[in-house]
Amino acid sequence: MYAVIQTSGKQYRVTEGDVIKLDRMAGNPGDPVEFTQVVMLENNGKLHVKKSEMKGIKVTGKIISKTHGKKIRVFRYTRRKNTMKTKGSRPKHTTVSIEKIVTA
C-alpha cells in the first residue's frame, strides 16, 4: 500500500516506514505530523483517486530532524555595463519518518 501526499506545493509517493526530506515545516524533532491532503491511494492493487474516496484518509509521521541543504549561488552579469551581482541561500529541510497510512 502506498499513498501520494501533497505538502508545500509538491507531491511525494510514500509507504509506511519511508523517510522523506521535505521543505521547511513547523515543529520540532520528535513532534507528530499529519498529512491530510492525500491525492492518491493504492491498496491491494486498487487505485483510489476520486475525492469522494479520499475522505478520511490521512498519513501520519514523525519529525526526525531539521537540516540545511547545500548552498545555492546565483550570479548575475550584464556585459559591457560592468555589472555583477552574486546572491546565495541555503534551503532548510525537514526529515520526516512516515509511520502509518490511515484509511477510513
57 closest CA partner among 76, 31, 35: 35
User: For the sheet containing 38-43, what is the strand order?
Assistant: 10-14, 2-7, 38-43, 46-48
Give me the number of domains the chain comprises. Answer: 1
pLDDT tens profile 51-83: 888 888 999 999 999 999 999 999 999 999 999
Question: Which positions ≥6 away from 29 have C-beta within 8 Å?
Answer: 63, 64, 65, 66
Is this structure's pTM higher than 0.85? no
pLDDT in tens, 11-49: 999 999 999 999 999 999 999 999 999 999 998 889 989
- Return d(Cα 68, Cα 87) in angstroms, integer: 17
Nearest to 31 by CA among 102, 96, 101: 96
pLDDT of 104 > 80? The answer is: no
Domain interval for residue 53 = 2-102
